[in-house]
């Protein structure tokens, strides 16, 4: 480990030696790959957790972070400083140039990172990539015996901003300062890789200083839009990358200032969003569109309850702060409800038929559990109704497009008015639908879209606040599962396996994860 000033800029051999050092540490720690259970001990592990290594924790973590931030390209082999030596060099020269040229062939030919599906970088950044992988491995080591905390995780969770002059020096173990602006920029630029998204999650979840800094940025779109792109291309991403992106959104939506400010940021021409041309849309409306699309994708393909829960929790956190929803975003909210309603009716019909049908003694064992299916779909419908209700109760006059979409599809909500699970939450929707329907009838028949919108805008100002029943605020907070290492350690090592540069593993001996999931 070492501070940046310890590393002479432009010395090509330094790059090679640093890369070799980082790679060696990864290899030394890789014994975890060949065990199915999560290891909490081992010779290298013990050394890393003891005096001499522990005293270098902060410098090592800081250096690895700066290697990631600098995104330094691998120097070409032709310019090695050793070429200028007149005596042909000795053993050191042979070793150094061998390391450099060997590395160069790995980088230029792709080496271990040239696996199918991984983007081939024209200018690979091996030191940056490998440093990030090592940082994630170290930060996810389990705590030592007797609950001795992992010092590398401590360093990742408590570093501070070099620009923060107000911070009072603390006695906190392993703390150091780093340039938050540079780190934020690197995170924004690198989200196409799983490991950069995992680092972003780790910092948002565990480092309060960095989270507060990110939430205070006035250019949050630079961070949020790449996260939305990951979710948009859900079919091309592995499920872990999608989870991380979703949890990042959930953590961000816990903050009300974030939920307000995203509706004030206007984006132009989102080229990657192909369902519809979006020439101008707020970041908030785009976020809603992408999360709803993820829910719909999940309903038809993977049917992962965990994914649903996180998507709905993020929408719920934002719902009270919805502002000036884009017409298309408002439509998609109601379309999702229509899809859920259709699915609900189908499951209800299947459940009814299964109860009516002739049943022998063994029939129950082969029948699908429709009651459970119905329960899950009703939970999701309830959540969607709460999200719509939260927006209407808190910011109806800011969202004429949602009221328009609600009125246009009002028949969808009829069947839920008397349903015991939804009666309470339907009161406000009924009030809004009834109030605006009356005003539209009074305005005459055969109204143009513009005229309907005008009636809605005026009606929104006229609807008394006390007509809508107040419900508790919808707020969800992300909490890590018990024993998170069971998820994160195999995930981190699968990233090392897939994107470590110049590392070739014996696939037959890997026990930590199945090769299918890697």
DSSP letter string, 322-373: --S--HHHHHHHHHHHHHHHHHHHHHHHHHHHHHHS---TTHHHHS--HHHH
DSSP letter string, 455-496: HHHHHHHHS-GGGSPP---------PPSSTHHHHHHHHHHHH
Tokens 């393909």 correspond to what residue?
A: 301
Q: Are 259 and 253 in contact (CB under 8 A)?
A: yes
Residues 178 and 261 grouped into a single domain:
no
Residues 458 and 501 grouped into a single domain:
no
| Domain boundaries, position 409 | 256-354+369-467
Output the tens digit of pLDDT for each of the chain's 518 residues: 444 444 444 456 788 899 999 999 999 999 888 888 888 877 888 888 877 888 889 999 999 999 999 988 888 764 444 344 444 444 444 444 444 444 444 443 333 333 333 433 444 789 999 999 999 999 999 887 667 888 999 999 999 999 876 655 555 667 889 999 999 999 999 998 999 999 999 999 999 999 999 999 999 999 999 999 999 998 888 889 999 999 999 999 999 999 999 999 999 989 999 999 999 999 999 999 999 999 988 887 767 778 888 999 999 999 999 999 999 999 999 999 999 999 989 888 888 877 776 555 455 544 567 777 788 888 889 999 999 999 999 989 899 999 999 999 999 999 898 888 898 899 999 999 999 999 998 888 778 888 988 999 999 888 887 788 888 888 999 998 888 899 999 999 999 999 888 888 888 888 888 866 55
Residues 342 and 267 grouped into a single domain:
yes
Residues 423 and 499 grouped into a single domain:
no
Tell me, yes or no, whether 206 lies in a domain.
no
Residues 182 and 146 grouped into a single domain:
yes
Q: What is the pTM of this model?
A: 0.85
Residue whose C-alpha is closest to residue 386's, from 428, 414, 415: 428
Taking the C-alpha atoms of residue 225 and residue 228, their distance in angstroms, rounded to an integer, is 5
Query: How many domains does one find in the chain?
Result: 2
Residues 486 and 461 grouped into a single domain:
no
Give me the pLDDT at residue 423, please: 87
Residues 69 and 163 grouped into a single domain:
yes
Give me the pLDDT at residue 104, please: 42
Residues 162 and 279 grouped into a single domain:
no
Which segments of 126-220 are extended strands (E)?
160-161, 177-178
Tell me, yes or no, whether 200 lies in a domain.
no
Tell me, yes or no, whether 104 lies in a domain.
yes
Tell me, yes or no, whether 229 lies in a domain.
no
Residues 107 and 141 grouped into a single domain:
yes
Q: Are 287 and 278 in contact (CB under 8 A)?
A: no
Residues 293 and 149 grouped into a single domain:
no
Tell me, yes or no, whether 439 lies in a domain.
yes
Tell me, yes or no, whether 504 lies in a domain.
yes
Question: What b/e sequence results for 359-379 when a residue is b if at least 16 CB atoms lie within 10 Å of its CB, and e otherwise?
Answer: eeeeeeeeeeebeebeeebbe
Residues 303 and 274 grouped into a single domain:
yes
Taking the C-alpha atoms of residue 286 and residue 266, their distance in angstroms, rounded to an integer, is 10
State the DSSP code for 148: B
State the DSSP code for 143: P
Tell me, yes or no, whether 226 lies in a domain.
no
Tell me, yes or no, whether 236 lies in a domain.
no
What contacts 31, CB < 8 A, 6 or more positions away? 39, 42, 44
Residues 159 and 265 grouped into a single domain:
no
Q: Are 375 and 299 in contact (CB under 8 A)?
A: no
């Amino acid at each position: 480990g070492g501070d940046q000033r310890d590393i002479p800029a432009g010395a090509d051999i330094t790059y090679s030696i640093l890369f070799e050092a980082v790679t060696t540490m990864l290899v030394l720690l890789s014994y975890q790959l060949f065990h199915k259970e999560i290891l909490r001990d081992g010779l290298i592990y013990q050394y890393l957790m003891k005096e001499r290594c522990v005293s270098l924790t902060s410098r090592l973590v800081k250096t690895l972070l700066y290697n990631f931030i600098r995104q330094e390209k691998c120097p070409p082999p032709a310019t090695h400083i050793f070429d200028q030596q007149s005596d042909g060099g000795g053993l050191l020269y042979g070793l150094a140039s061998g390391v450099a040229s060997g590395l160069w062939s790995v980088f230029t030919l792709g080496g271990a990172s040239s696996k199918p599906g991984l983007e081939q970088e024209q200018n690979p950044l091996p030191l940056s990539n490998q440093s990030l992988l090592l940082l994630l491995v170290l930060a996810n080591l389990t705590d030592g015996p007797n609950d001795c905390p992992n010092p590398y995780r401590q360093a990742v969770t408590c570093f501070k901003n070099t620009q923060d002059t107000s911070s009072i020096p603390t006695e906190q173990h392993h703390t150091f300062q780093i340039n938050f602006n540079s780190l934020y920029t690197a995170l924004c630029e690198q989200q196409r890789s799983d490991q950069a998204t995992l680092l972003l999650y780790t910092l948002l979840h565990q480092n309060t200083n960095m989270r507060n800094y990110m939430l205070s940025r006035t250019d949050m779109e630079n961070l949020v839009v790449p996260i939305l792109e990951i979710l948009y291309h859900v079919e091309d991403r592995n499920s872990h990358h999608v989870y991380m992106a979703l949890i990042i959104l959930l953590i961000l939506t816990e903050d009300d200032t974030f939920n307000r400010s995203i509706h004030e940021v206007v984006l132009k021409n989102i080229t990657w969003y192909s369902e519809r041309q979006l020439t101008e849309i707020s970041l908030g409306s785009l976020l809603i569109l992408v999360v709803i699309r993820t829910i719909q994708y999940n309903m038809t393909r993977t049917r992962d309850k965990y994914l649903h829960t996180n998507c709905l929790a993020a929408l719920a956190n934002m719902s009270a702060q919805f502002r000036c929803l884009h017409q298309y975003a408002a439509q998609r909210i109601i379309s999702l409800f229509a899809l859920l309603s259709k699915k609900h009716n189908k499951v209800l019909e299947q459940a009814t038929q299964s109860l009516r049908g002739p049943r022998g003694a063994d029939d129950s064992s082969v029948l699908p559990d429709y009651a459970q299916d119905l329960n899950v779909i009703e939970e999701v419908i309830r959540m969607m109704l709460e999200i719509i209700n939260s927006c209407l109760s808190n910011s109806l006059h800011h969202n004429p497009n949602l009221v328009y979409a609600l009125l246009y599809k009002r028949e969808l909500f009829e069947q839920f008015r008397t349903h015991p699970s939804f009666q309470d939450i339907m009161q406000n929707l009924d009030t809004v639908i009834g109030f605006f329907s009356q005003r539209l009838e009074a305005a005459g028949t055969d109204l143009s879209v513009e005229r309907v919108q005008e009636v809605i805008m005026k009606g929104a100002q006229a609807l008394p606040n006390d007509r809508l029943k107040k419900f508790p605020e919808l707020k969800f907070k992300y909490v890590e599962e018990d024993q998170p290492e069971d998820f994160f350690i195999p995930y981190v090592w699968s990233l090392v396996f897939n994107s470590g540069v110049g590392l070739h593993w014996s696939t037959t001996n890997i026990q930590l994860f199945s090769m299918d999931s890697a």
